[in-house]
Structure 1
Amino acid sequence: MKRRAMVAGLCAVASAGCTDRLRDVVASTPRDIAVRSRYIDGDPLVEGQSVRSMPEELITHATSFRSQAGAMGAIRPGHPETTEFVENTEFVDDGGEVVLVVAQRLTAPEVEVRLGSISRTGDHSLRIAVDLAGVRGEIETDDPVVKTLLLRLTDEQGPPERVIVSIDGDRAGVTI
Protein backbone atom coordinates (compact mmCIF):
# COMPACT_ATOMS: atom_id res chain seq x y z
CA MET A 1 0.00 0.00 0.00
CA LYS A 2 2.83 2.41 0.88
CA ARG A 3 4.62 1.52 -2.36
CA ARG A 4 1.50 2.28 -4.42
CA ALA A 5 1.09 5.65 -2.65
CA MET A 6 4.76 6.47 -3.22
CA VAL A 7 4.53 5.62 -6.95
CA ALA A 8 1.37 7.69 -7.29
CA GLY A 9 3.04 10.59 -5.49
CA LEU A 10 6.15 10.41 -7.67
CA CYS A 11 4.02 10.29 -10.84
CA ALA A 12 2.04 13.30 -9.67
CA VAL A 13 5.21 15.29 -8.96
CA ALA A 14 6.93 14.23 -12.19
CA SER A 15 3.95 15.11 -14.37
CA ALA A 16 2.66 18.12 -12.46
CA GLY A 17 3.31 20.71 -15.15
CA CYS A 18 2.12 18.47 -17.97
CA THR A 19 -1.05 17.40 -16.21
CA ASP A 20 -1.96 20.91 -15.11
CA ARG A 21 -1.34 22.29 -18.59
CA LEU A 22 -3.44 19.54 -20.15
CA ARG A 23 -6.29 20.27 -17.75
CA ASP A 24 -6.06 24.00 -18.53
CA VAL A 25 -6.35 23.39 -22.28
CA VAL A 26 -9.17 20.88 -21.85
CA ALA A 27 -11.03 23.28 -19.56
CA SER A 28 -10.72 26.10 -22.09
CA THR A 29 -11.85 24.08 -25.13
CA PRO A 30 -15.54 23.65 -26.01
CA ARG A 31 -16.61 20.07 -25.29
CA ASP A 32 -17.72 19.40 -28.86
CA ILE A 33 -14.24 20.18 -30.26
CA ALA A 34 -11.44 17.64 -30.20
CA VAL A 35 -7.90 18.88 -30.76
CA ARG A 36 -4.45 17.34 -31.02
CA SER A 37 -1.37 19.48 -31.43
CA ARG A 38 2.30 19.00 -32.16
CA TYR A 39 5.06 21.56 -31.75
CA ILE A 40 7.61 21.65 -34.56
CA ASP A 41 10.85 23.54 -34.02
CA GLY A 42 11.45 24.96 -37.47
CA ASP A 43 9.64 25.51 -40.74
CA PRO A 44 8.24 22.37 -42.38
CA LEU A 45 6.23 24.27 -45.02
CA VAL A 46 7.16 25.01 -48.61
CA GLU A 47 7.59 28.51 -49.97
CA GLY A 48 4.22 30.11 -50.53
CA GLN A 49 2.68 28.35 -47.50
CA SER A 50 5.23 29.41 -44.87
CA VAL A 51 5.41 32.51 -42.68
CA ARG A 52 8.71 33.20 -44.48
CA SER A 53 6.67 33.84 -47.65
CA MET A 54 4.66 36.61 -45.99
CA PRO A 55 5.60 40.30 -45.98
CA GLU A 56 8.44 41.04 -43.57
CA GLU A 57 6.26 42.84 -41.02
CA LEU A 58 3.98 39.79 -40.58
CA ILE A 59 5.47 37.51 -37.94
CA THR A 60 2.39 35.35 -37.30
CA HIS A 61 0.83 33.16 -39.99
CA ALA A 62 -1.82 30.47 -40.23
CA THR A 63 -2.81 28.10 -42.99
CA SER A 64 -5.22 25.18 -43.17
CA PHE A 65 -5.78 21.94 -45.03
CA ARG A 66 -8.86 19.80 -45.63
CA SER A 67 -7.12 16.93 -47.47
CA GLN A 68 -4.04 14.82 -46.99
CA ALA A 69 -2.88 15.53 -50.56
CA GLY A 70 -3.03 19.28 -49.97
CA ALA A 71 -1.18 19.04 -46.67
CA MET A 72 1.48 16.66 -48.00
CA GLY A 73 2.05 18.98 -50.95
CA ALA A 74 2.81 21.81 -48.54
CA ILE A 75 5.47 19.93 -46.53
CA ARG A 76 9.12 20.27 -47.48
CA PRO A 77 11.13 17.06 -47.72
CA GLY A 78 13.05 16.08 -44.60
CA HIS A 79 10.38 16.78 -41.97
CA PRO A 80 9.39 13.34 -40.64
CA GLU A 81 7.50 14.59 -37.56
CA THR A 82 5.25 16.78 -39.70
CA THR A 83 4.79 14.06 -42.32
CA GLU A 84 3.84 11.51 -39.65
CA PHE A 85 1.33 13.90 -38.06
CA VAL A 86 -0.30 14.57 -41.45
CA GLU A 87 -0.34 10.90 -42.44
CA ASN A 88 -2.17 10.07 -39.18
CA THR A 89 -4.86 12.69 -39.82
CA GLU A 90 -8.30 11.70 -41.16
CA PHE A 91 -9.08 14.78 -43.25
CA VAL A 92 -12.60 16.02 -44.02
CA ASP A 93 -12.15 15.88 -47.79
CA ASP A 94 -10.82 12.31 -47.53
CA GLY A 95 -13.88 10.99 -45.65
CA GLY A 96 -12.75 11.87 -42.11
CA GLU A 97 -13.75 14.65 -39.74
CA VAL A 98 -10.49 16.58 -39.26
CA VAL A 99 -9.08 19.83 -40.58
CA LEU A 100 -5.44 20.71 -40.06
CA VAL A 101 -4.47 24.22 -39.00
CA VAL A 102 -0.81 25.21 -39.05
CA ALA A 103 0.16 28.20 -36.89
CA GLN A 104 3.61 29.75 -37.32
CA ARG A 105 5.56 32.47 -35.59
CA LEU A 106 8.88 34.19 -36.34
CA THR A 107 10.65 34.56 -33.01
CA ALA A 108 13.81 33.92 -31.00
CA PRO A 109 15.41 30.43 -31.13
CA GLU A 110 14.76 29.68 -27.44
CA VAL A 111 10.98 30.23 -27.74
CA GLU A 112 8.49 27.36 -28.09
CA VAL A 113 4.84 27.63 -29.11
CA ARG A 114 2.03 25.64 -27.53
CA LEU A 115 -1.73 25.53 -27.60
CA GLY A 116 -3.28 27.93 -25.11
CA SER A 117 -7.01 27.75 -25.70
CA ILE A 118 -9.77 27.38 -28.26
CA SER A 119 -13.04 29.29 -28.21
CA ARG A 120 -15.99 29.81 -30.49
CA THR A 121 -16.41 33.24 -32.03
CA GLY A 122 -19.57 32.51 -34.02
CA ASP A 123 -21.15 29.88 -36.24
CA HIS A 124 -18.34 27.71 -37.57
CA SER A 125 -15.67 30.19 -36.44
CA LEU A 126 -12.95 29.52 -33.90
CA ARG A 127 -10.29 31.51 -32.11
CA ILE A 128 -7.12 29.62 -31.24
CA ALA A 129 -4.75 31.19 -28.72
CA VAL A 130 -1.17 30.02 -29.00
CA ASP A 131 1.19 30.69 -26.11
CA LEU A 132 4.90 31.48 -26.30
CA ALA A 133 6.95 29.47 -23.81
CA GLY A 134 10.61 29.31 -22.88
CA VAL A 135 11.33 32.98 -22.17
CA ARG A 136 9.91 35.80 -20.10
CA GLY A 137 9.45 39.43 -20.95
CA GLU A 138 9.98 41.08 -24.31
CA ILE A 139 11.30 38.85 -27.07
CA GLU A 140 13.52 40.57 -29.60
CA THR A 141 15.90 39.03 -32.07
CA ASP A 142 17.78 40.18 -35.12
CA ASP A 143 17.70 36.71 -36.67
CA PRO A 144 14.23 35.20 -36.04
CA VAL A 145 13.49 31.52 -36.62
CA VAL A 146 10.21 29.80 -37.42
CA LYS A 147 8.25 27.99 -34.72
CA THR A 148 5.32 25.86 -35.88
CA LEU A 149 2.27 24.35 -34.18
CA LEU A 150 0.25 21.70 -36.02
CA LEU A 151 -3.38 21.42 -34.88
CA ARG A 152 -5.85 18.65 -35.75
CA LEU A 153 -9.36 19.99 -35.20
CA THR A 154 -12.54 17.94 -35.09
CA ASP A 155 -15.78 19.81 -34.43
CA GLU A 156 -19.07 18.00 -33.82
CA GLN A 157 -20.84 20.98 -35.40
CA GLY A 158 -18.94 20.40 -38.65
CA PRO A 159 -15.61 21.70 -39.91
CA PRO A 160 -14.90 25.31 -38.98
CA GLU A 161 -15.16 27.78 -41.84
CA ARG A 162 -12.92 30.44 -40.31
CA VAL A 163 -10.12 30.27 -37.74
CA ILE A 164 -8.30 33.17 -36.13
CA VAL A 165 -4.93 32.28 -34.60
CA SER A 166 -3.65 34.66 -31.95
CA ILE A 167 -0.03 34.55 -30.82
CA ASP A 168 1.20 37.14 -28.31
CA GLY A 169 -1.28 39.76 -29.53
CA ASP A 170 -0.68 39.19 -33.26
CA ARG A 171 -3.46 37.57 -35.25
CA ALA A 172 -3.65 35.59 -38.44
CA GLY A 173 -6.91 34.46 -39.99
CA VAL A 174 -7.52 31.53 -42.28
CA THR A 175 -10.60 30.46 -44.19
CA ILE A 176 -10.90 26.68 -44.29
Structure 2
Amino acid sequence: MDGHLATLGLGGNIGDPRASMARALVLLDTRPDCAVVSVSKLYRTPPWGKIDQAWFFNACAAVRTTLSPDDLLDACLSIERQMKRERLERWGPRTIDIDVLTYGDRMQQSQALEIPHPRMTERGFVLKPLADFAPDLVIAGRTVADWLEDADVAGIEIADPRSDWWRQTTENPQS
Protein backbone atom coordinates (compact mmCIF):
# COMPACT_ATOMS: atom_id res chain seq x y z
CA MET A 1 0.00 0.00 0.00
CA ASP A 2 1.24 3.43 -0.86
CA GLY A 3 0.38 6.24 1.48
CA HIS A 4 1.87 7.91 4.51
CA LEU A 5 3.59 6.44 7.54
CA ALA A 6 1.93 7.53 10.77
CA THR A 7 2.76 6.57 14.32
CA LEU A 8 0.19 5.92 17.02
CA GLY A 9 0.33 5.68 20.78
CA LEU A 10 -2.01 3.23 22.50
CA GLY A 11 -2.82 2.79 26.15
CA GLY A 12 -5.40 1.75 28.69
CA ASN A 13 -5.89 0.71 32.30
CA ILE A 14 -9.50 -0.53 32.65
CA GLY A 15 -10.67 -4.06 31.94
CA ASP A 16 -8.16 -5.94 29.77
CA PRO A 17 -6.10 -3.16 28.15
CA ARG A 18 -3.77 -5.62 26.41
CA ALA A 19 -6.74 -7.24 24.65
CA SER A 20 -8.28 -3.83 23.88
CA MET A 21 -5.07 -2.53 22.30
CA ALA A 22 -4.61 -5.78 20.35
CA ARG A 23 -8.18 -5.54 19.07
CA ALA A 24 -7.68 -1.88 18.09
CA LEU A 25 -4.55 -2.75 16.10
CA VAL A 26 -6.34 -5.65 14.37
CA LEU A 27 -9.27 -3.36 13.53
CA LEU A 28 -6.87 -0.81 12.02
CA ASP A 29 -4.90 -3.50 10.17
CA THR A 30 -8.03 -4.97 8.57
CA ARG A 31 -9.12 -1.62 7.13
CA PRO A 32 -8.41 -1.29 3.40
CA ASP A 33 -6.85 2.15 3.99
CA CYS A 34 -4.49 1.16 6.84
CA ALA A 35 -1.77 -1.41 7.39
CA VAL A 36 0.03 -1.91 10.69
CA VAL A 37 3.73 -2.14 9.77
CA SER A 38 5.49 -2.03 13.18
CA VAL A 39 4.43 -2.51 16.77
CA SER A 40 6.47 -1.97 19.92
CA LYS A 41 6.85 -4.28 22.83
CA LEU A 42 4.00 -4.04 25.33
CA TYR A 43 4.85 -1.95 28.40
CA ARG A 44 3.33 -1.65 31.86
CA THR A 45 3.61 1.96 33.01
CA PRO A 46 2.80 3.96 36.13
CA PRO A 47 -0.07 6.45 35.79
CA TRP A 48 0.90 9.91 34.58
CA GLY A 49 -0.83 13.22 35.21
CA LYS A 50 -3.55 11.79 37.46
CA ILE A 51 -1.63 9.30 39.60
CA ASP A 52 -4.37 7.85 41.87
CA GLN A 53 -5.42 5.15 39.41
CA ALA A 54 -4.35 1.73 38.14
CA TRP A 55 -1.16 1.27 36.14
CA PHE A 56 -1.44 1.41 32.36
CA PHE A 57 -0.39 -0.77 29.50
CA ASN A 58 1.16 1.21 26.63
CA ALA A 59 2.46 0.50 23.15
CA CYS A 60 3.17 2.33 19.91
CA ALA A 61 2.55 1.32 16.32
CA ALA A 62 3.47 2.51 12.85
CA VAL A 63 0.67 2.45 10.32
CA ARG A 64 0.87 2.95 6.56
CA THR A 65 -2.30 4.74 5.53
CA THR A 66 -3.97 6.47 2.61
CA LEU A 67 -6.17 8.38 5.07
CA SER A 68 -5.55 12.05 5.77
CA PRO A 69 -4.35 12.86 9.31
CA ASP A 70 -7.85 13.98 10.34
CA ASP A 71 -9.46 10.88 8.83
CA LEU A 72 -6.91 8.68 10.60
CA LEU A 73 -7.82 10.38 13.88
CA ASP A 74 -11.51 9.81 13.08
CA ALA A 75 -10.79 6.11 12.44
CA CYS A 76 -8.98 5.85 15.80
CA LEU A 77 -11.79 7.65 17.64
CA SER A 78 -14.34 5.39 15.95
CA ILE A 79 -12.45 2.33 17.23
CA GLU A 80 -12.35 3.88 20.72
CA ARG A 81 -16.14 4.39 20.58
CA GLN A 82 -16.68 0.87 19.25
CA MET A 83 -14.72 -0.37 22.25
CA LYS A 84 -16.86 1.74 24.61
CA ARG A 85 -14.22 4.35 25.46
CA GLU A 86 -15.58 7.01 27.78
CA ARG A 87 -13.77 10.29 28.32
CA LEU A 88 -14.69 11.08 31.90
CA GLU A 89 -11.67 13.09 33.04
CA ARG A 90 -8.41 14.30 31.56
CA TRP A 91 -5.62 11.73 32.03
CA GLY A 92 -8.13 9.54 33.86
CA PRO A 93 -8.78 5.81 33.63
CA ARG A 94 -9.72 4.45 30.22
CA THR A 95 -10.36 1.17 28.45
CA ILE A 96 -8.47 2.32 25.35
CA ASP A 97 -6.75 5.45 24.13
CA ILE A 98 -5.33 5.84 20.63
CA ASP A 99 -3.33 8.98 19.81
CA VAL A 100 -1.96 10.01 16.43
CA LEU A 101 1.64 10.90 17.27
CA THR A 102 3.18 11.65 13.88
CA TYR A 103 2.13 11.57 10.24
CA GLY A 104 5.18 11.49 7.99
CA ASP A 105 6.99 14.76 8.52
CA ARG A 106 3.75 16.73 8.55
CA MET A 107 3.23 19.50 11.05
CA GLN A 108 -0.38 20.39 11.71
CA GLN A 109 -2.17 22.39 14.34
CA SER A 110 -5.95 22.40 14.40
CA GLN A 111 -8.58 22.19 17.09
CA ALA A 112 -9.02 18.46 16.44
CA LEU A 113 -5.43 17.36 15.88
CA GLU A 114 -1.91 18.58 16.50
CA ILE A 115 0.95 16.77 14.75
CA PRO A 116 3.42 15.91 16.07
CA HIS A 117 1.50 15.17 19.27
CA PRO A 118 2.25 18.19 21.48
CA ARG A 119 3.29 16.30 24.63
CA MET A 120 4.84 13.14 23.21
CA THR A 121 8.43 14.28 23.78
CA GLU A 122 7.70 14.69 27.53
CA ARG A 123 6.28 11.21 28.01
CA GLY A 124 8.48 8.22 28.67
CA PHE A 125 5.48 5.93 28.21
CA VAL A 126 5.29 7.13 24.57
CA LEU A 127 8.99 7.51 23.79
CA LYS A 128 10.10 4.14 25.17
CA PRO A 129 7.76 2.04 22.99
CA LEU A 130 8.23 4.37 20.00
CA ALA A 131 12.00 3.89 20.25
CA ASP A 132 11.49 0.12 19.80
CA PHE A 133 10.92 0.63 16.06
CA ALA A 134 11.58 4.31 15.34
CA PRO A 135 14.59 5.49 17.39
CA ASP A 136 15.80 7.68 14.50
CA LEU A 137 12.43 9.35 13.86
CA VAL A 138 12.95 13.12 14.18
CA ILE A 139 10.47 15.05 16.32
CA ALA A 140 10.98 18.79 16.80
CA GLY A 141 14.61 18.60 15.66
CA ARG A 142 15.69 15.62 17.81
CA THR A 143 15.45 11.88 17.36
CA VAL A 144 13.14 9.76 19.49
CA ALA A 145 16.26 8.13 20.98
CA ASP A 146 17.60 11.56 22.00
CA TRP A 147 14.28 12.60 23.55
CA LEU A 148 14.15 9.27 25.39
CA GLU A 149 17.52 9.96 27.07
CA ASP A 150 15.94 12.96 28.84
CA ALA A 151 12.56 11.35 29.58
CA ASP A 152 11.30 10.03 32.90
CA VAL A 153 11.03 6.27 32.43
CA ALA A 154 10.95 5.36 36.14
CA GLY A 155 8.76 2.36 36.77
CA ILE A 156 8.20 1.50 33.10
CA GLU A 157 8.57 -2.23 32.61
CA ILE A 158 8.23 -4.61 29.69
CA ALA A 159 4.98 -6.58 29.94
CA ASP A 160 5.58 -8.54 26.72
CA PRO A 161 8.92 -8.41 24.86
CA ARG A 162 7.48 -9.54 21.52
CA SER A 163 6.44 -7.12 18.79
CA ASP A 164 3.68 -9.50 17.67
CA TRP A 165 1.94 -9.58 21.08
CA TRP A 166 -1.10 -7.98 19.44
CA ARG A 167 -1.54 -10.88 17.03
CA GLN A 168 -1.89 -13.40 19.86
CA THR A 169 -5.28 -14.67 20.93
CA THR A 170 -6.51 -13.59 24.33
CA GLU A 171 -7.21 -17.22 25.24
CA ASN A 172 -3.52 -18.13 24.88
CA PRO A 173 -1.46 -14.93 25.04
CA GLN A 174 1.85 -16.71 25.52
CA SER A 175 1.65 -18.86 22.36
User: Which TM-score applies when normalising by structure 1?
Assistant: 0.26
User: Which of structures 1 and 2 has the bigger CA Rg?
Assistant: 1
